Copies of this chain bind each other. A is one copy, B any other.
Amino acid sequence: MLTERLLRQVAFIKEIDKVKYILRKTKLLHSDRCENDAEHSWHLAMMTIVLAEHSNHPIDVFKVLKMVLIHDIVEIDAGDTFIYDAAKSHTNTNEELIAAKRIFGLLPPEQAEEFIEIWKEFEDGFTNEAKFARAMDRFEPLLQNTSNNGGTWVEFDVPYHKVHEKKSAIGLGSATIWDYAERLIDESVEKGILRKDS
């Protein structure tokens, strides 16, 4: 029985290797190489550990770590959705739910259930842990784009108001980090790497 359990866990561990092939639109710092979801998730986990003290509310950091580590695993089946893609909502889609059930379903049932719940909590964004995790998810590409002369903002002609609107979710997790992020956005307009709306 224990072996059967371990075999299911190993099957899942092998399956999620595919996360390393899912490319995001954003690039590494000072680079034109796309970041993949495994690298992205690792970076969010590190940011969570380092920045947790700035959360607006007390949070279970261990739970936030689980969220950011697993949040993109569904993209193995559903693919990455660009945050500024108007045609496809970045929020929880049915396709992603089916993916979550298949991939987390490789695990022993109660682990699968726990992972699906954590993933849903992240997607819903209602709890303090989800708000902070989502703040990290919005903050990292900001650091990337400002280091890459505008990065995806320039590449996909994204204007200031869209960036400001999407990034404002950072403030739901941390007012301190949002204060800093807003300054980075304003500086980007001044530097001409983010287009002010006409």
List A residues at the B interface (Cβ < 8 Å).
Answer: 2-3, 6, 9-10, 12-14, 16-17, 19-21, 28-29, 35-36, 38-39, 41-43, 45-47, 49-51, 54, 61-62, 65-66, 69-70, 107, 111, 143, 147, 176-177, 180
> Is B47 touching A69 in the complex (CB atoms < 8 A)?
no
Please name all residues of chain B whose beta carbon is closer than 8 Å to the beta carbon of A41 when the two chains form the complex.
Answer: 42
CA distance A27 to B21 in the complex (A): 13
CA distance A165 to B31 in the complex (A): 40
Indicate whether A20 sits within 8 Å of B45 (C-beta atoms), given known contacts A6-B176, A65-B62, A65-B65: no
> Is A50 touching B180 in the complex (CB atoms < 8 A)?
no
Closest chain B residue to A41, Cβ basis:
B42
CA distance A70 to B43 in the complex (A): 10
> Is A17 touching B29 in the complex (CB atoms < 8 A)?
yes
A-B contact pairs, 21 of them (CB 8 A): A3-B180, A6-B51, A6-B54, A6-B177, A9-B50, A13-B43, A13-B46, A13-B50, A14-B29, A14-B143, A17-B28, A20-B43, A38-B38, A39-B39, A41-B42, A42-B45, A42-B69, A45-B65, A50-B107, A62-B62, A62-B65
> Is A12 touching B50 in the complex (CB atoms < 8 A)?
yes
